[in-house]
């Protein structure tokens, strides 16, 4: 009999099963770098297996949001999780292969793709159920004279859109004709121009019939941007010709304009009432919302955008130098423009400011569905990362006409910084020194989407205020308002990167006018945190802070950033351009694609206007100190607006310091986000400092298309500036008068 003798050393060298699996996984990690399925297929496989994003995130030791980003294509997995994720998908693909496509009689019509749906959660019972198959709407070819409206034969469904949004997604059959349509009347026939060149025949002869046709046959709308949100209602844009067909006046009377609606006795309003349709309290105005009672959980609502009634304000949606552009634009071009806006931002809800504010809620819904373990039924639960209620306000944070201030001050009292939080963007100018006057030019650079960039990664409060008294310690992690005396902060000799900067030639970061504070004043958390960053002691007297915090605006910023960058890329302005290439591309971009130029303006107005809406003031609807409609919104949050503006201003000052330290270069004027520098040449390349390797100074201003980077706004001569000062009798802010590079720029973004 043979005897096998195995040494202890040999036994210790036998690998365990886990070690072998680890070695195999390491090999898989090396070879599974580029073989992942498409983002849409990743989502399909997970849903086919009945898995949630939370389950996958837990298995991969990751976050639910990360899995959502992988499934939307926003980010890609990286080692070592990439190999594990690939292994999971491979196993799911073996169990749930891609269904063989049925051979349809006709091809599906491409529409503006569904937006990123965000992290998955428990299905919401209140979500709208897919509509039952609706009768196919009549279609017809678009006019041959307008190639932008691609023709199609009756009964077919395949068209080619002029522009395809960058993030493609599966078509939702409920909204196969896109998010909106432009309704026009030609030769007695009412037509609905949809995205992708599709034209539908509309049999309706009245507004109620038009609404019912939209709800039953048009297949218009847009899928929700977040799983816990709701789908967007379809939008119908009425042209002047369509309004005449439906009995609407071409223009509102003076009284109707003041009321922003048709009178109750108008025949169209009576038609709506007789048909059993409902309207919101705003009535039938430029943006009219008409709806029927829901069918179960399914909404039945249509929004009308009345074009001749200035529903699309030319300052936001059009061109100031061509106020009639939107009214004269061919319906096929107009729906292309608005369809791209819906795909990249969201379906318009009114003004760009209103839409931008709605986008915040769409990406951070206040509630979600939660299963009751006791009953097994779903119930509504609050989301921890969203604004979920209307909270009490703080006196120092509200505007002068707010009802909470009634009886507190005299009618025309001007509140001081110790009584009012004055976080606003810069409006500052100073005289040029003799040395600066030796330069022949003044060059203005403008920060791309500065308010949106300031919102990125900003921690804001979600709940109501907590009052801290008796000299509380400053905590930069608590968003809110702090009463602090910063008059002791001396920026005349500041050390930055080992160099001394003459801060007296820069505006103070603590006041919009750039003046040095003279005593206690209210500041938002980012402003006080910047004083600490500069090395100064702060001693708050009192504060109002929010203890439930979140980076609430991150998703909002990212969607607007992507929309802006994608739109600029469509005009040839990409993120990989060098300084000179970028300036050349910016100068010619509006000639490349006029529709994209309109979209650029609308996206920037959306970002800027939404921040302003957070502290919307009374529009004269009510008397002073009386409640006005905006105060009823949960998103009326002046503290969040103040935090964004404080972050924008202090972030700008930080770049000013870095630039001054690198090149002894100081601005002479700043208007919101436009910075004026004396320059030896007419180009930003002549003035913005670089490293010895030719790269932008770290932390300074950098030419580029991304939000937070700068572009060229314009150039003027120093002699011109001196003449302006002489004619106007003193120094005034010249930053927004220098717009030679882009006449539409310089008003803050």
The tokens for 693 are: 């390797």
The pLDDT value given to residue 114: 35
Are the C-beta atoms of residues 545 and 461 closer than 8 Å to each other? Answer: yes
C-alpha to C-alpha distances, 196 to 111, 153, 337, 341, nearest whole angstrom: 6, 14, 11, 14
Which three-class secondary structure state does DSSP give residue 202? strand
Mean pLDDT score, 374-388:
90
- Predicted pLDDT at 9: 36
Q: What is the pLDDT of residues 719-742, one digit of tens each?
A: 999 998 888 887 789 998 998 755
> What is residue 145's predicted lDDT score, i.e. its pLDDT?
38
What does the angle CA 424 – CA 425 – CA 431 come to, to the nearest 5 degrees?
120
Residues 6+ apart with CB under 8 A from 467: 542, 543, 544
DSSP string, 131-163: PPPPPPPPB-PPPTT-TTS----TT------SS
Classify residue 598 as left (phi > 0), alpha (psi -120 to 50) or beta.
alpha
Q: Distance between alpha carbon 657 and the CA centroid of its chain, in Å?
A: 29
Give me the pLDDT at residue 73, please: 77
List the helix and strand counts (H, then E) for the chain: 22, 22
Give the pLDDT of residue 403: 95
- Say which residue the tokens 């994003």 belong to: 53
Residue with tokens 């119908």: 236
- Report the C-alpha gap between 74 and 256 in whole angstroms: 46
Q: Which tokens sit at 63?
A: 């976050």
- Residues 6 or more apart from 359 whose CB is under 8 A from it? 225, 345, 346, 556, 559, 560, 606, 610
What was the pLDDT predicted at 100? 59
Using one digit for the tens of pLDDT, what is the confidence trace for 170-192? 678 889 999 999 999 998 899 99
CB 264 within 8 A of CB 256: no
Q: Tell which residue, 129, 565, 593, has the closest CA to residue 345.
A: 565
| Percent of the chain with pLDDT strictly greater than 90 | 65
Q: What is the 3-state secondary structure (H, E, C) of 248-306?
A: CCCCCCHHHHHHCCCCCCCHHHHHHHHCCCEECCCCCCCEEEEEEEEECCEEEEEEEEE
CB contact at 8 A, 36 and 85: yes
- The stretch 234-240 carries a mean pLDDT of 97
297 torsion bin: left (phi>0), alpha (psi -120 to 50), beta (else): alpha
125 Cβ neighbours under 8 A, 6+ residues apart: 297, 369, 378
Top-confidence range, 21-35, 60-74, 600-614:
600-614
Report the alpha-carbon distance of residue 594 to residue 333 in Å, rounded: 11
Q: How far is CA 633 from CA 291, 311, 627, 628, 629, in A?
A: 21, 22, 12, 10, 8
Under the banding of pLDDT at 50, 70 and 90, the label for residue 747 is: very low
Question: What would the pLDDT profile of 528-557 be if each residue is shown by its tens digit?
Answer: 999 999 999 999 999 999 999 999 999 999
C-alpha angle 152/186/270, rounded to 5°?
A: 115
Q: What is the C-alpha separation between 429 and 514, in angstroms, rounded? A: 8
With the C-alpha atoms ordered 187, 191, 194, 196, is the resulting torsion angle positive or negative?
negative
pLDDT of residue 30: 46
The pLDDT of residue 728: 84
Kindly provide the residue ranges of all beta strands, DSSP E only, lying in 96-234, ordered along the sequence: 180-186, 189-194, 199-202
CB 447, CB 749: distance < 8 Å: yes
By percentage, how much of the chain surpasses pLDDT 70?
84
pLDDT confidence of residue 739: 84
Question: Measured between alpha carbons, how far is 385 from 273 in angstroms, rounded to an integer?
Answer: 40
Radius of gyration over every alpha carbon of the chain, rounded to an integer in angstroms = 29
Q: Which residues 6+ apart lie within 8 Å of 208 measured at CB?
A: 271, 272, 274, 275, 277, 290
Q: Partners of 300 in the beta sheet?
A: 292
Written as six digits, the tokens of 164 are 């395809």
Give the whole-angstrom CA distance, residue 283 versus residue 269.
9
Residues whose CB falls within 8 Å of the CB of residue 624, separated by 6 or more in sequence, listed in order: 401, 411
The β-bridge relationship of strands 669-672 and 180-186 is: unpaired
CA dist 426 and 673 (Å) reads 7
- Catalogue the E-assigned strands of 633-693: 669-672, 674-679
pLDDT of res. 103: 42
Res 338: pLDDT: 97
| DSSP one-letter code for 395 | G
pLDDT at position 152 is 36
**pLDDT tens by residue, 429-487:** 999 999 999 999 999 999 999 999 999 999 999 999 999 999 999 999 999 999 999 99
Task: Quote the pLDDT of residue 138.
Answer: 57
Average pLDDT over residues 645-657: 97
8-state DSSP, 421: -
* Separation CA 431–CA 433 (nearest Å): 6
Q: What is the pLDDT averaged over residues 324-330? A: 93
- Token readout for 183 is 């309704």
Please give the average per-residue pLDDT across 395-401, as a whole number. Answer: 95
Q: Which of 240, 393, 363, 344 is nearest to 604 (CA)?
A: 344
For the entire predicted model, the pTM comes to: 0.78
Dihedral sign, CA of 344, 345, 346, 349?
Answer: negative
The pLDDT tens digits of the residues spanning 261-304 come to 999 999 999 999 999 999 998 899 999 999 999 887 788 999 99
3-state helix vs strand vs coil in the chain, percent to 5? 35, 15, 50
Q: At 727, list the tokens.
A: 């004619």
Q: What is the pLDDT of residues 492-535, one digit of tens each?
A: 888 888 888 998 999 999 999 999 999 999 999 999 999 999 99
pLDDT confidence of 489, banded at 50, 70, 90?
very high
Q: State how far the Cα of 333 lies from the Cα of 658, in Å rounded to an integer.
A: 45
Q: What is the pLDDT of residue 33?
A: 46
Is residue 3 classed as helix, strand or coil in its secondary structure? coil
As a whole number, the mean pLDDT across the chain is: 85
Q: Is the pLDDT of residue 62 over 90?
A: no
The tens digit of pLDDT for each residue in 666-720 reads 999 999 999 999 999 999 999 999 999 989 999 999 999 999 999 999 999 999 9
Spatial neighbors of 193 by CB under 8 A, at least 6 apart, are: 142, 149, 181, 182, 183, 184, 199, 331, 332, 334, 335
Which of these, 605, 703, 167, lies nearest to 356 by C-alpha position? Answer: 605
Q: Of 142, 212, 216, whose CA–CA distance to 174 is shortest? A: 216
- Alpha-carbon distance of 480 to 639, in angstroms, equals 6
Triad 585, 587, 678: Cα angle to 5° = 110
Residue 427 CA to residue 511 CA, distance in Å, equals 9
Distance CA 104, CA 107 (A): 7
Cβ contacts of 365-372, under 8 Å, gap ≥ 24 = 365/226, 365/228, 365/229, 365/230, 366/634, 367/228, 368/121, 368/122, 368/124, 368/228, 369/121, 369/122, 369/123, 369/124, 369/125, 369/126, 369/127, 369/228, 370/122, 371/122
Please, is 126 exposed, middle or buried when counting C-beta atoms within 10 Å of its C-beta (0-12, 13-18, 19+)? middle
Report the C-alpha gap between 565 and 573 in whole angstroms: 8
**Residue 96 confidence class, pLDDT cut points 50, 70, 90:** confident
Give pLDDT, residue 452: 97
Q: Pick the closest to residue 511 from 640, 416, 625 (CA basis).
A: 416
What's the rounded Cα separation, in Å, for the pair 286 and 280?
Answer: 13
């Amino acid at each position: 009999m043979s005897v096998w003798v195995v040494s202890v050393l040999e036994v210790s060298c036998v690998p365990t099963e886990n070690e072998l699996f680890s070695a195999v996984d390491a090999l898989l990690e090396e070879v599974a770098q580029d073989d992942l399925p498409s983002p849409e297929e990743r989502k399909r496989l997970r849903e086919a297996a009945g898995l949630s994003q939370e389950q996958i995130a837990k298995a991969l030791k990751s976050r639910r949001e990360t899995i959502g980003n992988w499934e939307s294509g926003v980010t890609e997995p990286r080692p070592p999780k990439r190999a594990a994720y690939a292994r999971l998908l491979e196993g799911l693909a073996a169990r749930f292969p891609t269904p063989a496509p049925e051979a349809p009689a006709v091809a599906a019509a491409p529409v503006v793709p569904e937006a990123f749906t965000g992290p998955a959660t428990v299905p919401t019972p209140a979500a709208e159920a897919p509509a039952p198959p609706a009768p196919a709407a009549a279609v017809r070819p678009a006019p041959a004279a307008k190639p932008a409206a691609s023709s199609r034969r009756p009964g077919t469904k395949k068209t080619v859109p002029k522009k395809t949004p960058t993030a493609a997604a599966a078509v939702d059959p409920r909204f196969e004709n896109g998010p909106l349509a432009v309704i026009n009347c030609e030769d007695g026939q009412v037509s609905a121009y949809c995205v992708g060149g599709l034209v539908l025949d509309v049999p309706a002869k009245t507004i109620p019939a038009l609404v019912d046709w939209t709800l039953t046959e048009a297949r218009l709308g847009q899928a929700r941007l977040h799983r816990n949100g709701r789908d967007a209602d379809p939008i119908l844009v009425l042209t002047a010709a369509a309004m005449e067909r439906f009995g609407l006046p071409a223009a509102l009377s003076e009284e109707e304009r003041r009321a922003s609606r048709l009178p109750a006795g108008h025949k169209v309003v009576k038609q709506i009432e007789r048909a059993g349709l409902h309207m919101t309290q705003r009535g039938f105005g430029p943006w009219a919302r008409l709806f029927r009672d829901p069918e179960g959980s399914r909404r039945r609502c249509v929004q009308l955008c009345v074009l001749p009634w200035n529903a699309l304000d030319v300052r936001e949606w059009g061109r100031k130098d061509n106020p009639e552009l939107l009214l004269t634009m061919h319906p096929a071009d107009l729906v292309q423009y608005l369809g791209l806006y819906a795909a990249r931002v969201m379906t318009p809800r009114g003004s760009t400011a209103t839409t931008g504010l709605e986008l915040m809620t769409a990406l951070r819904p206040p509630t979600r569905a939660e299963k009751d373990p006791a009953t097994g039924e779903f119930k509504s639960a609050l989301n921890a990362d969203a604004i979920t209620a209307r909270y009490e306000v703080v006196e120092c944070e509200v505007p002068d006409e707010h009802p909470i201030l009634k009886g507190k001050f005299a009618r025309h009292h001007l509140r001081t910084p110790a009584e009012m939080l004055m976080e606003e963007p810069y409006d500052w100018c100073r005289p040029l020194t003799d040395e600066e006057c030796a330069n022949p030019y003044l060059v203005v650079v403008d920060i791309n989407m500065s308010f949106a960039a300031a919102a990125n990664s900003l921690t804001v409060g979600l709940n109501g205020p907590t009052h801290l008294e008796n000299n509380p310690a400053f905590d930069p992690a608590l968003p809110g308002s702090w009463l602090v005396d910063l008059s002791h902060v001396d920026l005349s000799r500041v050390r930055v990167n080992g160099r001394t900067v003459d801060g007296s030639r820069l505006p103070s970061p603590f006041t919009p006018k750039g003046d040095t504070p003279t005593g206690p004043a209210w500041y938002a958390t980012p402003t006080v945190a910047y004083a600490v960053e500069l090395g100064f002691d702060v001693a708050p007297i009192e504060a109002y802070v929010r203890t439930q915090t979140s980076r609430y605006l991150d998703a909002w910023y990212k969607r607007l950033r992507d929309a802006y960058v994608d739109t600029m890329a469509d005009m040839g302005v990409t993120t990989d351009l060098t300084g000179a290439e970028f300036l050349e591309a910016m100068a010619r971009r509006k000639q490349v694609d006029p529709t994209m130029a309109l979209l650029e303006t609308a996206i920037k107005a959306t970002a800027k206007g939404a921040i302003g809406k957070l502290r919307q003031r009374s529009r004269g609807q009510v008397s002073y100190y009386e409640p006005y409609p905006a105060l009823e919104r949960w998103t009326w949050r002046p503290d969040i607006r103040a935090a964004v503006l404080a972050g924008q201003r202090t972030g700008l000052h930080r770049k000013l310091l870095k630039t001054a330290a690198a090149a002894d270069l100081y601005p002479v004027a700043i208007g919101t986000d436009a910075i004026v520098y004396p320059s030896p040449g007419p180009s930003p390349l002549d003035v913005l400092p670089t490293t010895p390797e030719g790269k932008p100074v770290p932390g300074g201003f950098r030419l580029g298309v991304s939000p937070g980077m700068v572009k060229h706004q314009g150039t003027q001569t120093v002699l011109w500036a001196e003449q302006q000062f002489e004619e106007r009798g003193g120094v005034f802010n010249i930053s927004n008068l220098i717009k030679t590079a882009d006449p539409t720029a310089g008003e803050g973004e």
